[in-house]
Structure 1
Amino acid sequence: MDREERYFVGERLGEGASFSVHRGRDRKTGRSVVIKILKEEFASDEGFCSGLLDVAERALRIDHPSLVRVLGAGRGDQRPFVVCEWRPGSGLRQKLLVEGRIEPRQALTWAAQVARTLSALHAMGEVHGDVRPEHVVICGPEGAKLRDHLLSLPFLSHPVFREYWLQRSAPYVAPEVIQGQEPSSASDIYSLGALLYEMLTGSPPFTGESTGQVLIKHFREDPPSLRRTLPSAPPELDELIRRCLSKRPSARPSAKEVAERLTEILARLRSGSSNRLASTRRSFRPRGVVDSFLMSLLRACAWTMGVFLGVGIILGLLYLAWRLTTPKEVTVPYVIGLPLTEAEGLMRQHGLRLRWAGEEYSDRYPPGTVIRTDPPPGQRVKEGREVRAIISKGAELVEVPDVVGLPLESAKREIEAAGLSVGDVSRRYDPYASLGEVVDQWPRPGAKVAKGGEVSLVVSKGPRPKEGRYASEELEPKSAEVEVLVPAGLGKQRVRIEVEDADGVRTVFDEFCSPGERVKERVDGRGRMVIRVFINEELVEEREI
């Protein structure tokens, strides 16, 4: 699927650990979508990218009203992307940051919805694999919906990216998954138990100063009692969470059972009434002297109670006036990565004022989005306070210098002086360049790239020795026309034409070309000449002239 042809990529909504997330539009259907583009640090691993697209194809076939649907997947600019339906709502993680914890009845309602969604997934023979607050979306009256199902599986099967995934998901990952087993329906239940515990208490069941400490606690420590933090919690809810967080997968309940038990507990909480102690009144009739004494005592008590009541009313009015004139405390919302106008709107919703406090270059956040705030997200402040925001100017771009023809060390100094670094350095024979001289570079001179980027160099090994492979061949001049049709459907692709002849190996064409474009190049050489055509560094044609 060609991202440029099928989808319009709009503003960046945010940036997660693995994907940059954009609002988009399907040009074919006109519907709003969310486009998740894999970050460059992951896109360089072809095996990982293929695995990601494979699970995205599996997710395409899953349709459930409480799942954010995957609508498509493919590659664009050599980076995999996943297209999901647009569901207006807010993330559970953001709600936890703002509210601290979720009101118990609401938390049980959302947890039951997530459990029912997991039950449907498990009935299809699939798992979610990464249940945590970041993957739960609260869609107004529709309630809680799960997103990013299956997309964690390529991370878990990769020897390097697995550790990266564990750092993100440490508070919610089941012990058997930490040991290397594949995610299962039972591991989803473990994650759901940790999620529900956090919604009710404001913190996951296992925490620590490092990822390693958290992972060890999943093995060694029993889950803390919910009733220790939330004494009013029903004992059956505490027991259900303990079962979900069992170290043994076989001891955990199914998603269907969790949904049913939560629904029952929720029904009792909504309809239950506390027992009221019946009060009895004793009547007495004072008589004689005793009657007179008791009546005096009652009048004195009534006068004293009136005085206290009056003082209480005055103090209550003073307290009410203090509360009305003293700003209440609110939590600074998380606006990092949001466009400035959206960040201002979210701040206003929380009773705060956002003020532009400067700009900085950032290769992580696009221009016009928030890099950081002061006070930071999650901090409690007085309502009406001003929050200062630093806005991104985008990546700082520098011009690639022309270092072809320079000695290698001089080329390195030029590149570093431009704010760039030297990347791969390869070597080849060249009949026209002296030993150690730069004969080619990528990116090309004059290109604008992010500051700190790499420039790859090709350095001459001097002329090829004549006693070598071509010594006995006639060195007559030759030429050939090379024509390459760029394949459709994969976005812009790198086309490189290489020639090997009596003078060595050299590149005569190296550019990114659009799908369907025809590349025509005249190639000249001497003696036996071999022409090779590469698309995205994969050899697609080789012929000898």
Structure 2
Amino acid sequence: MNQRGVDLTGATLEGRYRVESVLARGGMSVVYRGVDTRLERPVAIKVMDHRFSADRTFVERFVREARAAARLHHPAIVSVHDQGVDHSPTEDHVFLVMELVDGGTLRELLRQDGELPVPLALSVLEPVLSALGAAHGAGMVHRDVKPENILIGPNDAVKVADFGLVRAVSDAKLTSDSTILGTVAYLSPEQVETGVTDSRGDVYSAGIVLYEMLTGRPPYTGDSPLSVAYRHVNSDVPPPSEAVPGIPPALDELVLRATSRDPARRPADATAFRDELLRVRDALGVRRVPVPVPTAVWTPPPTTSTATPSSDGGAPPSPDGPPTERIPVTPPAGQHTQPGPPPPPHPGPAGGGPIGPQGTRALSRDEYASGQYGRPHGAEHAGHPTAPPTPPGGQRRGPVQDPYSTQRRRSRRSFVIWMAIVTVLALVIGVTAWWFGSGRWTSVPDLRGMSHADAVAALEEADLVPSLDHQFHDSVELGQVFDTGPEGGAEALRGSRVRVLVSKGLPVVPEVAVGISLDEANELVEDARLTPVRDEGLDQFSEEIAAGDVLGLDPEAGTEMAIGGEVRVVLSKGPPPVPVPDVTGQTRDEAVDTLTSAGFEPDVREEFAEGVEAGRVIRTSPDPGTEMLLGEDNRVEVVVSNAVQVPDVTGRRVDEARRDLEDADFAVEVDSWFGEERGRVFGQSPPGGAWVEPGSTVTLNNFPIF
């Protein structure tokens, strides 16, 4: 039986998942080693605390987050196999079934070895960032990156656990704007101040983890969780080399970028952080090394007090020991905690010293804002607290003070507090008067001639917001500012936008695709701040591009011109003209085939031509060699001879000759000496074999025979 609910060891959830030993206990769940009896494989089973499983809204949102986490498929992410609700007579158990990683956590490796060598630290962080990058690409934010959630298994396996659970808790309204949710030693400043974070919050936490691997301890410690949170918001993380001399400056710079208090100065997400990590590793010539599985696991002594739990997936203890490391928290004045066992020593390289709160917890933002835990007590340098250690038994002892000294200290403290209040009120009144007087206004700097980067910096320094507008300019070089709105020297409200006109240099003739329409080409030219014009004299014939489509521009693409310069658009005139073939003397069929093959449409008519054989081409119109554009009218008139050949009837009887000539459509006249048509033909006109018009008259000379 644990302090928050029933111990499920030995139970079977949904008739499938057999619960075995406890792996870890957290503030929101208990993680068990289990067996999927259907597939006969070992699994890790995370069972939600009964306080949350009784909340229907939380269960519904937890199911949605579990499904989202299950969609993440990455070798460095602990896989989610199943999710369900086991109904029992006493209460419902909401659970997740996950991949079981036999080994330990990065926390145990740090307890075992202290600070890690640079190659090992980078070899651990690279797969962690790869996993977080996959989650960021899927629109998810881990929000609780810490050594306890980085699992190390055999075969060089490094995996990130607990995706989506913290998001489900916050969505279920278990926290609010007045609550800080997370592990204070790794919280980003924006998560402390507003509770809102994105992928850059995970980058900050990963940067803190890298600092801790390099130095053996986190950068900030304190007497209370809120004092550590204060340090994250108000102090810059120191370079790791200050704690461990010899760390390369490139790694110092990488840690400082990742842990910048300004999210905009950090890498945009874990993928960008990983890219920078790989560049630094290559520059330093550091090779990837195997990651050892932790062999020594610290087990805290048993306790019955209300220890602050770590986050889900925290450092797994031995099955029989308490699950999480206890961190001493200094309560507000007037409250006392039950004495309990001291925290375990931290085997860092410097030996001893607290490492700061490690558990996922909900802290009061009201207390943080009030300054109750405004400054870490006695922690003048990260990881080097100066407060005296707490002896076993949980209470500090010091010299006994007499009542007079005690009262004197109280009076002095009251005087200091009242002086501070008066000073703050005066400051508030002064700042308010200044703000409502001249403080709201600032002068717009003169940015003309500056580079756009310098202009942005100058505006930000003047508490103004730059709005860049890139435009072409005939005389101002590329990237330089040529005007602002309002103009330089004008007064503007702090935080207002200033339009900054940045030169794009001279316009450039754009690239146009061959074959686009004239309207499309004109639009591209106009978008480049140039003027399109038509010059039909530049149009060209093209076998491939249809008439009226664009062949190109003059001048050619890439040419710099003044704003409004004229660019001539060259169009296609379609296929070039084709000359009419010479078919004179060819037969009718030959001429038709020749013209048709050349793309023309022959129009044949007959005409008599003396001396030209019937069926032969006399001429064409247009004449041979004339060039014609093949379009809608491709007709060529073909004139063919219709001459007929006069038969030779000399020596034949007149009546036979007449009959044959008339059958051939000739008219016949007989010229007889004696007026008789008897006899034989001794002459004819036209002579036999002559080519004449159809229907021509043939005169026969008759010599009578008596």
- Of Structure 1 and Structure 2, the greater strand share is in 1
TM-score normalised according to structure 1 size? 0.50
Higher helix share: 1
When Rg is computed on C-alpha atoms for both structures, the one with the higher figure is 2
